[in-house]
Amino acid sequence: MLTATEKRFIKYWEEQRTGGRVKYYLLYILLGTFIATLVLSFLTQVLGLGLPENLVFIVIGSFCIVTIATVLTWGVNEKKFKGIIQREIREGMRRDEAEGN
């Protein structure tokens, strides 16, 4: 039986994966890199580390961090989604066998 949390996750993940992995990666990597660059630039200014000479490193670092996070998130969510679906299929088959006897 699905819990409310699992139902929400399944609905959320089905919406996220409709465009496929490439569209998911493009959206979250590009948007995430932009946001992470802004955040890291702000932090370097607050900490007094100097922005102009570090901007290239900030953008590259942001891209790398966000790319890794996006790929890992896709993998974890896909594994969780498939696990829930497989569990429900197995439980359904057990119920069918129990009712058939």
Q: Does 101 fall in a domain?
A: no
Q: Does 64 fall in a domain?
A: yes
This prediction has a pTM of: 0.82
Q: Does 30 fall in a domain?
A: yes
Supply 42's token pair. 């702000």
17 Cβ neighbours under 8 A, 6+ residues apart = 24, 78, 81
Categorize the per-residue pLDDT at 51 as very low, low, confident or very high, splitting at 50, 70 and 90.
Answer: low
pLDDT at 75 over 90: yes
User: SS3 of 78, please?
Assistant: helix
Q: Does 44 fall in a domain?
A: yes
> Is the backbone of residue 48 left (phi > 0), alpha (psi -120 to 50) or beta?
left
Residue-number span of the structural domain to which 47 is assigned: 4-95
Q: What does the pLDDT read at residue 97?
A: 84
Structural domains in the chain (count):
1
Categorize the per-residue pLDDT at 101 as very low, low, confident or very high, splitting at 50, 70 and 90.
Answer: low
Q: Does 87 fall in a domain?
A: yes
Q: Does 100 fall in a domain?
A: no
